Amino acid sequence: MEKVVIIGSGCAGWTAALYTARANLSPLVLTGKHPGGLLTTTSIVENFPGFPEGVDGFELMTRMQKQAERFGARASFGLVEKVDFAKRPFTLRADGETVMAETVIIATGASHKHLGVPGENLLETKGVTYCATCDGALPCFRNQPLVVVGGGDSACEEATYLTRFGSIIHLVHRRDTLRASKIMAERTLENPKIKPVWDSAVTEVLDVKQDKVTAVKLKNLKTGAESVLNCAGVFVAIGHGPNTEIFKGQIETGENGYIIPKQGTMTNVPGVFVAGDCADHVYRQAITAAGAGCAAAIDAERFLAAQNQ
């Protein structure tokens, strides 16, 4: 029987592990398919406090894991397939094994949608990115033409943010009007540095041979015309969703699937807590996920203490 099981090994998961480990609760971290979480997919992280020169995303996550393990946290490379939160202790099925837990911290993160076009995967971290706040300020994007793909609020936010860095921002959208809220759409289109490219889809990211983004191939969806648009970066903002499918029917979520914490980090099930991007569609940063992991650990520790009184 585990006192604390943490589902997910990103910033939220490992921070929750650090705090619960230091509280002598010997947490078990089920890492899922992506040990270290999303940050391991990026090169340099420049906005995590404490690293004035920036830090490699993979190295940061390795350090978080080591720090938690130093105090007794344990990692298991399990992908949780099923949970039963109807009664305590809770039951989890991970890779065919059953794990029983007195408390659970859900830290399963969120996934962004991909374009699914040639060049996208190979040029990820070499100019293709999914987060303007994270990567927009990198030197390779400064004073360069950039492409943002999408037409919703996120795409507009990303495009507006990038006007601080890029020389011009091409906003590529499949339709001839933005899906974003009226005020956001107006603000975006009034910005002289943002140039909409209507009715168009990116069909390929160039140039894999040069090992960096130099342009995108576009197709006009109304006329079928193809063209090439030079750019140094492609910011994909066509949506993202939380990894919360396995909790359906057991943990209350909003319409968009993100878990809604009740008091602090508590979910609708006492003893099950949530932290990080799976409960946050607004900030989606490493530091906010880590902060939430800390809060969930403290909440779980206090919950266990109250049960044992």
Ligand X SMILES: Cc1cc2nc3c(=O)[nH]c(=O)nc-3n(C[C@H](O)[C@H](O)[C@H](O)COP(=O)(O)OP(=O)(O)OC[C@H]3O[C@@H](n4cnc5c(N)ncnc54)[C@H](O)[C@@H]3O)c2cc1C
- Which residues contact ligand X (rule: CB under 6 A)? 7-13, 30-35, 37-39, 41-42, 45, 47, 79-80, 107-109, 129-131, 134, 243, 246, 276-277, 284-287, 289
Among candidate residues 131, 231, 278, 294, the one labeled active-site is 131
CA–CA distance, 166 with 158 (Å, rounded to integer): 12
Supply the minimum distance, in Å, between the C-beta of residue 156 and ligand X.
19
Among candidate residues 134, 156, 231, 278, the one labeled active-site is 134
Instruction: Yes or no: say if 34 and 40 are a contact pair by the CB < 8 Å rule.
Output: yes
Supply the minimum distance, in Å, between the C-beta of residue 177 and ligand X.
28
Supply the minimum distance, in Å, between the C-beta of residue 196 and ligand X.
25
**Is 135 tagged catalytic?**
yes
Strand blocks (E) in the chain: 2-7, 28-30, 44-45, 55-56, 74-76, 80-84, 90-94, 97-106, 110-112, 128-129, 145-149, 168-172, 194-197, 200-206, 215-220, 226-230, 233-236, 240-242, 272-274
Residues 6+ apart with CB under 8 A from 139: none
Supply the minimum distance, in Å, between the C-beta of residue 102 and ligand X.
18
Supply the minimum distance, in Å, between the C-beta of residue 235 and ligand X.
10
CA–CA distance, 91 with 89 (Å, rounded to integer): 7
Beta carbon nearer to ligand X, 92 or 197: 92
DSSP string, 199-231: TEEEEEEE-GGGTS--EEEEEETTT--EEEEE-
Beta carbon nearer to ligand X, 132 or 156: 132
Supply the minimum distance, in Å, between the C-beta of residue 268 and ligand X.
19
Assigned token pair, 99: 């794990």
Beta carbon nearer to ligand X, 80 or 178: 80
Distance of CA 149 to the CA centre of its chain: 17
Q: In whole angstroms, how far apart are CA 34 and each of 74, 87, 184, 186?
A: 16, 29, 34, 39
Q: Beta partners for 141?
A: none
Q: In whole angstroms, how far apart are CA 178 and each of 115, 172, 173, 197?
A: 18, 10, 8, 11
Beta carbon nearer to ligand X, 197 or 289: 289
Among candidate residues 135, 277, 280, 299, the one labeled active-site is 135
Beta carbon nearer to ligand X, 186 or 283: 283
The closest of 214, 228, 217, 37 to 127, measured between CA atoms, is 214
Beta carbon nearer to ligand X, 57 or 151: 57
Query: What residues are labeled active site?
Result: 131, 134-135
